[in-house]
Each structure stands twice: as structure tokens, then as C-alpha cells.
Chain A
Amino acid sequence: MTGYQEILTDPSYAGQIVTLTYPLVGNYGINDDDLESDRVQPTGFVVREACDAPSNWRSVNTLDGWMGEMGITGIQGIDTRSLTKRIRSGGVTMGAIGDDLDELHHVLEQAKAYDETDFVGKVSTKAPYKWGATGKESVESPDPENRVRLVVIDCGLKFNILRRFWRAGSRPIVLPCTVTAEEVLAWRPDGVLLSPGPGDPRRLEGVVSTVQGLLGKVPIFGICLGNQLLCHAVGGETYKLKFGHRGSNHPVQDLRTGKVTITSQNHGYAVDAASLKGTGAEVTQLNLNDGTVEGISIPDARASSIQYHPEAAPGPWDSRPYFDEFIAQIRSGK
């Protein structure tokens, strides 16, 4: 019901048309801070009502004004509940926004299927950079002392992951998704993070072989797409969900403690639990709603990953301790 600005700048939505179930969007306007990447990522935005008179002390623009500046197409006045139910029963589908039905049909016939496009290559950073107290820094900038060197393989990062890891005491070094295992190790990382990102993980053979080259040599942590990449790296399989997990209210149960956490999620693919048999990986967390895999661990390789977003933005902060726990784990050398 909140979080449209974060959603619109989340690279995991690259190439997608996003619709929100909450009907009143843009109420608190657009501000200069709550950006999750350098640009608007979805290609289209569908809402019931876009607020033309927002009210919030940080607001500097209206939703419509900002989307116009960013060159992203939006449509309002749509019965978004009806649309949501169509997606629920028919699954995610290709879509187009316009006012000429014939033209839209034509466009859709010509369009490549979503799964055929390499969105990760498009949203990943082209050049390496570091992250510091005030945001992006050049790779030449000196590293502060006593910080865990964390190499991040960028498949579609959200800034808040870097902000949280910085706060937890690490020095994030962000590399493009095309990086090799040798190149990663040349940065002498204390740990490696596999970032979230858009699209089908099966397309990402290059990243998977990089992960395979790193497994066992350095502690690895994965978030969202990173969870699926880790699964593929040990020989497991992923599959496409009918309509994915979106939004800020997904209950995840940790099988080790029984404790349930409300999480922020955004993924259309999931790890196949059965495929992990005999790979050395074990399922650690499950979605309480549909029983899908929410976390895996490979104890022998000091690798683990989660399917949800501990960085939130948007969404609940309940799994924020993960960042501290991860850094502490690296520090302890376990």
C-alpha cells in the first residue's frame, strides 16, 4: 500500500509492466531519497488512481510528473482488482499499454517473450564501483579499515542492499554480472554476495559458472535471484511460478527455529526443493502460504541464500538482522 517509488526503481522489475493492488497510488508523491537504482526499471505502470495532489514533507514531484520525466508509460482508471484476478487465474502474461487495440495486438505478436530477453545484462553495472557512507565511490577510492570486503555480483542490485551491508560493517565492491571467478578472487573478498535481479535464472549460465568457481573458496550469500543462482550452481533446478510472489506480506518460516518472519518479496521463479537432493544443499526456510523454498544452505561450502528481500524498501524490516548476522559469520570464519 506504500512503496511505489522503490518498486519503480527496482531492477528486478526490468522489462515488466507492474500493476498495484492498492488503488490510491502517488499519495505521498516522489522524493529524492527513496530510489533503489539510478533509473525507472519497469516498462509500464498500471494503477487505479494516480494522485495529482500528493502530500508529504519530502515530496518534490507527483507520480505522473516524475514518470513523464523518466519516460515511462503509465495508465490509470483501470479496475486493477479485476486485472489482479486475471493474473491470479491465468498466470503472468505479456502485456502492452496503449489506446488502439489492433495496434496493441500487433505489438504483442511481434514482441519477444519475456523469458527470451537478457534483462540481467541490461541492468547490471557496466563498470565496477565501491559503496561508501554517501553512496557510490570509484574503484580507486581507498578502503576504510576493519571492514569486511564484500564483492557483490550485480545482476540487478537495489541500493538498499548496499546501504544495509555498509551499515553492517562491510565494504561493498560491486562488479558486473559478466565477471569470472578469478576476477572476483583477485579482489581478495572476505565474502561474495549474489544480488537479486530480473528474469529466468536458467539463462544465466555465465554467472552460474562463476558461482561454481567460487564455491568453497569464499563464503557466499545470495538474495532472491542469488538464491536461484546458488541452487543452479550445485546442480539444482528452478521453475517459473504461476504468478510469482510480490509485495510486502509474505510469511517465511525458518525450519531451524520454527519462527515466522513477514518478508518483502519479488520473484517469478522458485527453487525446486526435490532437485536439491544429493547436491549438498539443504532447504532452510519455507513460504508459509504455498510451501515454496525461501532459503537454502550449503554448510560444507559456507554458502547460503534467501529468496526474499531482507533489505525491504519497500516492505517490512523484520529480516534486517540478516545483514549483521552475515557479516558476523564472515568475521567468525565459520
Chain B
Amino acid sequence: MKVLVIGSGPIVIGQAAEFDYAGTQACKSLKEEGHEVVLINSNPATIMTDPGVADRLYIEPLNVDFCERVIARERPDALLPTLGGQTGLNLATQLSDEGILEKYNVRLLGTPLTAIRKAEDREQFRSLMREIKEPVPESWIIQTEDELQAILDIVPYPCIIRPAYTLGGTGGGIADNKETLWETGRKGLKLSMRSQIMVERSLLGWKEVEYEVIRDNKGNTITVCNMENLDPMGVHTGDSIVVAPSQTLSDLEYHILRTASLKIINALGIEGGCNVQLAVNPESFDYYIIEVNPRVSRSSALASKATGYPIARVAAKIAVGLTLDQIENQVTGTTKACFEPALDYCVVKLPRFPFDKFASGDRTLFTQMKATGEVMAIDRSFEAALVKALRGLEVKTKDLSHPKFPPMDDEELALAVKIPTDERLWAVAEALRRGWTIQRVNGLSRIDPWFLHKIMKILNGEVETSPTAYKMVDTCAGEFESATPYYYATNEIESDFVSS
């Protein structure tokens, strides 16, 4: 089969090159199955446009016009749209809407467009959630300025504004009052591809948890991993400090949320990877479904690297009709892709912000992603992983001290702990250094006390972080012998070796 893959396009603020990673994996995966891959991508500075990744390569603008020309010339049998991020998905939607796919008899692979629409169109998604009895926060879909005007007095403040069909939440924000809602809402309407925004109840302070899930066309479903955001709800997950797996959820809570996530991908009929974001009340079993990304996303790239499970590779194989039990787990070589990775380490992701280049930029973080990259570190403890990630961030601060915060008085510091910015972690560390109680810092930042205790341990020098051994990321926590050259350094007794 000849398959057209839409590439990741330009790297922009709000993306972390994850779609290049996913797309490259997908192209290789399709070729493994004997398919011919035609790639169209506007960005020649990506890995996927390197020689040998695709069979045929077009460096052309990612728009309907050029895509149609490539289709007319190459006459592919099928199009795989779910691996190029939102850009690819939007383009595929347009190609389908304008009848181009039908005209050239190109079959769409992977998750059907109807399912993607159901996940991305707020109204359709909410009605599906109501149908399957999964809770979504109270919200309003707005398509015109008149409709926006009408809700200004009804909405509970603070509320969140999310434009539909945009990348990285561009044009979104939080409004504390009518004026801000009016302003941000109007901007969002302009930026949304479909002139649609959602205004919803704010869940500021709730835990934010994500599940990376995969489903095949036979209905087999698995969870690749879950992740917990250190920054509570209110900060875009791309801008949040994230740990994998979740640290403060009990088994019962973990599986309530896992079950909900799997129920959702089954109801949507996803064929491939999917990301489910949930808000979790830190004081009860209550939760809300926040968002579903019906495709390989930034989070799936992170989950992939965090677990060793190649989500894009597996998703591409599912798209061409294989089922999870037929796909080999490349890492162990002896087991199947139909299992759930077990982690025997802790993963910490730190976002990398461009404020060193945009010194006058607004450093406040909210629902619109500002990070341009991320650092991921693996270690046997949270403390060691965080310290390692800090060193890898390539910013002036190499640890938890930042010259900006010691001179601040307590009032200023309290504000720096309360309002999320790219520097909040260092403000939190300074507050703990000043002897502020965990309770006080938690009250201001709503960061879970578990993380604060760990940060305290780093400050107290309680954690040995200099590596003495190398351990393997093997997807199965040592249960099966593996032969993958993916290691992390850690302070442990014994190293893993692969016999060659």
C-alpha cells in the first residue's frame, strides 16, 4: 500500500518537536510492514525529512492546494493524518471536507474523522460524555460575540476560555471577571479555526492527571502510562512540571481514572493513540474529564520516552489494520505490544521556556502553552530525577537556587509562589528555605505536599544524586530480559548490561 503521511510542519511556540519524533517513528513503522511512504512536510530541518525515512519526500507548504498536487501526482492508496499533530489533523479534515480524498480515492487510516470530530468539537464531545456518564465541567460553547455577551453574568468566575481547533491552546486564558472574559473570549473567537470557544468552570487547584491510552480496531485497549502534573490545574500541561507515573493517587483512584479513560476511547472508537486529561479533586474521588486528544500528541511523545513504549510506531501499525496482540514489543523482543508498561523508576519532565530569548515576555503561565521544549530525566527517586532535569535544562540556574528570589520580601515571595510562572519552582524552593511550612506553601501554590516534601529533601541535602550505576528502561520493570540500548544513570548498587 502507498501511504501519504502529513508531516509535523514548522516548529512553533507551543510545540516541542514531538510530532517530528512521532512522524519519524510512524514512517519507519509503515515501511517495516512493507508499505511505501510518501511524506509531505514544510520543514526540512526535521528528522523525518532525512534521507531514508520516507520513500518519497515532498518539502512543500502544508496546505490543501499543495497536498492535492502531491496526491494527484503520487496517487496514494491511503492517508495517515493522526501522527502530524494538530496541523496534520486539520489538513486531513480539510482534504476530506473538500472532497479531495474522495476524488482521488484515498482512504483515511487510523481513527475515523467522525471520531476525531467527536473528540475535538466541544459540543459533540460533551454530549458523548453525558451519554457514557463521564463528568465534564459546567461549560458554555460560544460561537458569536452576542453569545459571549449573554453569558457574562451567568458564568462562575474564575472561568477558563478554550478556543476549539487550535494548537497548544492558542488564544485561551483564565478570566477573573466579566471584562477579561469579554476580551479574551473575543480574541479566542478570532483565533479558532471554526470560530468556536468554550468557557468553563475553573478547576484551579485540582490535580491534573493524564492517561496515554491505545485502542485497536478490535477494541483491545491499553494504558501506556499515566502522568501527574506537579503544577495543579490552571497551567497548560505542556508548561507544567510532569511526573510519570502518578505519585499521589492510590490504586483505587488510579483505576477509577484509568477505567474512565478507556471507556472514553472505546466510546469514541479511537484506532491508535489517544491522550485523556483529567482534573482530580485532591480531597475526594471527584474528577472531571478536561480534554481528549484523539491522536499522537506532545504527551504521547513524553509517555513514549518515559516508558520505552513506542506509541507512534504501534499507532501506525494499528492504522494499517494490525491489532495490539499481533504487534511485537520491540523492547523485549519476546512479548507483545498488548500489555501495560511497568516503570521501576520515576520520570520528571521540566518545560523549557524561551524567556531567555524573549526577556520582556509575560512569564505568567495559564492554559495557553508557552514552552518551546522540554527536558526529561529518569532516576530511581523523584529527587534525583528532578535534580538531573534541572541540570539538563541549560538555563543559568543549575539547581534549586535562583538569584531572583532571595532578595524578595515575604510578601513578594508569596506572590511568586502563588502565581504560576516559568520560575515558580525556584520561588517554592526559596520559600521552603526560609522555613515556611509545607502547609503554607501548599496553601499558596496548591502543589501537592508530596512534591514539596521531596523538594525539601533536596534542599536538606538528604538525597544522593551522583550516579554509580546504569539501569535499563525496558517497559517491564525487569520482568523479562530485554535487549534495548536505553539506559539512565542512577545512584544504585548494580548496573544492567546487555550481553552482546
Interfacial residues, chain A to chain B (CB-CB below 8 A): 1-3, 5-6, 21-24, 27-28, 31, 33-34, 48-49, 51, 53-58, 79-82, 84-85, 88, 247-251, 253, 258-260, 262, 288-289, 312-318
The A-contacting residues of B in range 186-218, CB under 8 angstroms, are 218
- Kindly report which residue of chain B lies nearest to residue A22, judged by CB atoms: B344
Report chain B residues within 8 Å CB of A48: 380-381
In the complex, the answer to whether B478 meets A258 with C-beta atoms within 8 Å is no
- B345-A23 in contact (CB<8A): yes
Given contacts A79-B493, A317-B255, contact A1 B245 (CB under 8 A): yes
Q: Give Cα A315 to B345, complex, Å.
A: 19
The answer to whether A2 and B249 touch (CB under 8 A), given A49-B381, A79-B492, A88-B478, is yes
Q: Can you list, as one digit per residue, whether each of B212-231 has a CB less than 8 Å from chain A (1) or not (0)?
A: 00000011111100000000
Taking a contact as CB atoms under 8 Å apart, the answer to whether B494 and A260 are in contact is no
Given A6-B251, A28-B250, A289-B335, A247 and B381 touching (CB < 8 A)?
no
Q: List 14 A-B residue pairs with CB atoms under 8 Å apart, sorted by A's residue number.
A: A1-B254, A2-B249, A6-B251, A22-B477, A28-B250, A55-B449, A79-B493, A81-B494, A260-B338, A262-B222, A262-B339, A288-B335, A288-B338, A289-B334
A288-B336, A316-B258 known; 15 new pairs, CB 8 Å cut-off, are A1-B245, A21-B342, A22-B342, A23-B346, A34-B250, A57-B284, A84-B478, A88-B478, A88-B480, A250-B339, A251-B338, A260-B324, A262-B222, A315-B251, A317-B255
Shortest Cβ distance from B192 into chain A, in angstroms? 37
What is the interface size of chain B, counting residues whose CB is below 8 A from a CB of the partner?
A: 53
Asked if B453 is an interface residue, CB under 8 A from chain A, the answer is yes
Interface string of B453-482 (1 = CB under 8 A from A): 100000000000000000100000111110
Contact present for A85 and B478 (CB under 8 Å): yes
Q: By the criterion CB–CB under 8 Å, are A34 and B251 in contact? A: yes
What residues on A are CB-neighbors of B282 within 8 Å?
A: 57
Asked if B251 and A84 make an inter-chain contact with CB atoms under 8 angstroms apart, the answer reads: no
Contact of A259 with B493 in the complex, beta carbons under 8 Å:
no
Nearest CB on A from B419, distance (A): 23
CB within 8 Å for A81 and B255 given contacts A260-B325, A288-B336, A289-B336 = no
Q: Are B492 and A81 in contact (CB under 8 A)?
A: yes
Measured CB to CB, the nearest residue on chain B to A3 is B251
User: Cβ of B219: which chain A residues have Cβ within 8 Å of it?
Assistant: 259
Distance, CA A2 to CA B219, complexed state (A): 26
**Shortest beta-carbon distance, A139 to chain B, in Å?**
30
CB-based contact B254/A2 at 8 Å = yes
User: A55 to B346, Cβ gap below 8 A?
Assistant: no
- In the complex, A201 Cα to B200 Cα: how many Å? 57
Q: How far is the CA of A298 from the CA of B221 in the complex (A)?
A: 29
State in angstroms the CA–CA spacing of A34 and B258 once bound together: 18
Q: Are A56 and B220 in contact (CB under 8 A)?
A: no
B10 in the interface, Cβ–Cβ < 8 Å? Answer: no
How far does the alpha carbon of A317 sit from the alpha carbon of B253 in the complex, in Å? 12
Q: For residue B454, which residue of chain A has the nearest CB? A: A53
Residue of A nearest to B474 (CB): A81
Residue of B nearest to A49 (CB): B381
B453 near A81 with CB under 8 A, answer no
| B341 and A249 contacting across the interface, CB-CB below 8 Å | yes
Whether B20 is near chain A, meaning CB under 8 Å from some CB there, is: no
* B222 touching A21, Cβ below 8 Å: no
Select B448's contact among A55, A288, A289, A316, beta carbons within 8 Å.
Answer: A55
Question: Does B343 touch A at the CB level, under 8 Å?
Answer: yes
Q: Which chain B residues lie closer than 8 Å to A259 at the CB level?
A: 218-220
B251 to A81, Cβ gap below 8 A? no
Given A81-B471, A249-B339, A27:B247 Cβ within 8 A: yes
Given A21-B342, A259-B219, decide whether A54 and B450 contact each other with a Cβ distance below 8 A.
yes
Q: Which residues of B have CB within 8 Å of A79?
A: 492-494
Cβ-based interface call for B149 (8 A): no
Closest to A30 in B: B250
With the chains together, A6 CA to B250 CA distance in Å?
10
Does B343 lie within 8 Å of A27, measured CB to CB?
A: no
